[in-house]
Amino acid sequence: MSSLERVGVSLDQHLLAEFDQLTAKQGYTNRSEAIRDLIRDRLSAEQLEKPTANAVAGIFLVYDHHSTALTNKLLHLQHDHVLNIVASTHIHLDHHNCLEIIIVKDKVQKIQALADKMGSLKGVKLSKTNMISIT
């Protein structure tokens, strides 16, 4: 962790009041922290635009767990990427549906390709991937 630097920003009073109100609602007790988080978010979003950036992601899949063929295909796909899959968590949503969250560390484009493959399997009803850049 490198050392801290102090930066000054001039802000219109009205804009500042609105920002303080929003961040207080979110739970921030510190304006500096709220601004830092905006900057980190922006940089992370920028990183994720690059196909070769390093990222960690959760691939969320909703599927019918009665389909044993699907469970096997998902396992095979995970084993093909075994070095990059960190963990997976399985949750029962209702009698038919379960949610599986597969956590992967890889390049952005590799994660996207794996998520596409998993999401397109017959029996997977919904898929949605959450990516975070890591540096």
Binders of its own copies among residues 5 to 34 (CB under 8 A) are: 5-16, 18-19, 22-23, 25-34
Under 8 Å between Cβ of 55 and 134 = yes
- Kindly state whether residue 126 participates in binding its own copies, applying the rule CB under 8 A: yes
Residue among 7 and 82 whose Cβ is closer to its own copies: 7
**Measured distance CA(110)–CA(134) in Å, rounded:** 15
**Measured distance CA(108)–CA(54) in Å, rounded:** 6
Per-residue b or e along 28-37, where b marks 16 or more CB atoms closer than 10 Å to that residue's CB:
beeeeebbee
Tokens 């050392």 correspond to 3
Residue numbers 30-69 binding its own copies by CB under 8 A: 30-44, 46, 56, 58, 60, 62
Residue numbers 76-95 binding its own copies by CB under 8 A: 86-87, 89, 91, 93-94
Q: How far is the CB of 78 from its own copies (least distance, A)?
A: 15
Q: Contacting its own copies (CB under 8 A), which of 53, 68, 108, 121?
A: 121
Residue among 11 and 75 whose Cβ is closer to its own copies: 11
Under 8 Å between Cβ of 108 and 131 = yes
Q: Contacting its own copies (CB under 8 A), which of 65, 67, 71, 103?
A: 103
Tokens 């560390």 correspond to 105
Q: Contacting its own copies (CB under 8 A), which of 65, 71, 107, 119?
A: 119
Number of residues that bind its own copies (CB under 8 A): 71
Under 8 Å between Cβ of 112 and 129 = yes
